[in-house]
Amino acid sequence: MNIAIVGATGLVGNKMLEILEERNFPLKNIIPIASKKSEGSSVIFRGKKYKVISLENFIDQKIDIALFSAGAEVSLKWAPVFSSKGIYVIDNSSAWRMNDAIKLIIPEINGNLLELTDRIIANPNCSTIQMLMALAPIHKKFKIERIIVSTYQSVTGTGKAGINQLNNETNNIKGLKIYPHQIHQNALPQCDNFLENGYTKEEMKLVNETHKILSDESVKVSATAVRIPVYGGHAESVNIELSEKTNCEEIKKLLNETSGVTVQDDPKKSIYPMPIKAEGKDEVFVGRIREDFSKENSFNLWIVSDNLRKGAATNTIQIAEYLINNFTF
């Protein structure tokens, strides 16, 4: 395969290169693409340097699949251009997620929806991916009626600018601020911009994307998204109300049998998921599984994952692998 990475010089683009190498992805050539200001720089893949080209110059390249991680504006403009040339586009931005004609895919959950005619495929939001990796099997067996989720999101979710602000503030260095307030030693109850309904875009992504991926708008979702000064990944406190009766042991057994999910739940030994332990791993980690005594058929879970990997780059590459394994190119 000839694989293009659009946004190759960004955090997720770099992570895509790393994961393609780790997974021994079947490719013939890698084409790193970025903005004009990055043109001429280079990236390293499998020990070899590759020159970065600009979007305007991709036309001469032979490309089978393009992995996009350059923001919604770039995706809205360029994904149709790529797809019109027969290239499969897997987009990591918010541009196409809620488009009725575009499929929103977590391969372990709804990869079976993909067809050869899907030339643009949307990758869900990082917070949605890790939450549904844990909740989809529970919903399938016990029917979730309501989800209340509070996220604790790494600065890596804001890219290099978020990391730079935290590093600068930690070291008392003046620099560009991407957040409206100090993030060092702080917690900001604002991820993305506020909407007219009082929720942020990030919070509404958890609502809308959950409905689309589960193909079930009856599931009630209430979300609060918080940015915290950590690097390793996102954490989520999730409360679920079920239609069917079950218990903690059945939920743990189900999650232990779920591909891509690892249960870490031994509170007496202080064993539970943490961003610092999830960093660099592709699994979604679940712990603190316990009954909610205030509401019948309700449970609490603590869900953690590396947002740059399963929440972005890994899920994107898994979609590409699904296409290659199931369709003839």
Over the Cα atoms of the chain, what is R_g?
20
Tokens of 56: 């305007």
Same CATH fold assignment for domains 2-124+312-326 and 127-307: no
Consecutive 10-residue averages of pLDDT for the chain (329 residues): 96 97 94 93 95 90 96 97 96 98 98 97 98 98 98 97 98 97 98 98 98 98 98 98 98 98 98 98 98 98 98 98 90
Among the listed residues 139, 191, 211, 234, the single catalytic one is: 234
For residue 234, indicate whether it is catalytic.
yes
Q: Where are the domains of the chain?
A: 2-124+312-326, 127-307
How far apart CA 114 and CA 130 sit, in angstroms, is 20
pTM: 0.97
What pLDDT is attached to residue 47?
A: 93
How far apart CA 263 and CA 232 sit, in angstroms, is 18
What pLDDT is attached to residue 328?
A: 76
Alpha-carbon dihedral angle through residues 75, 322, 4, 154, given to the nearest 10 degrees: 60
What pLDDT is attached to residue 10?
A: 95
For residue 126, indicate whether it is catalytic.
yes
Among the listed residues 126, 184, 211, 248, the single catalytic one is: 126
What pLDDT is attached to residue 85?
A: 95
CATH entry, 127-307, from 3.60.40.10, 3.40.30.10, 3.30.360.10, 3.20.20.70: 3.30.360.10
Class of CATH domain 2-124+312-326: alpha beta
Around 11, how many Cα atoms within 13 Å sit in the side-chain half-sphere? 18
In which element (H, E) is residue 48 found?
strand 48-51
Question: What CA–CA distances, in Å, run from 93 to 37, 62, 79, 168?
Answer: 20, 23, 11, 27
Tokens of 75: 């995706």
How far apart CA 234 and CA 226 sit, in angstroms, is 10
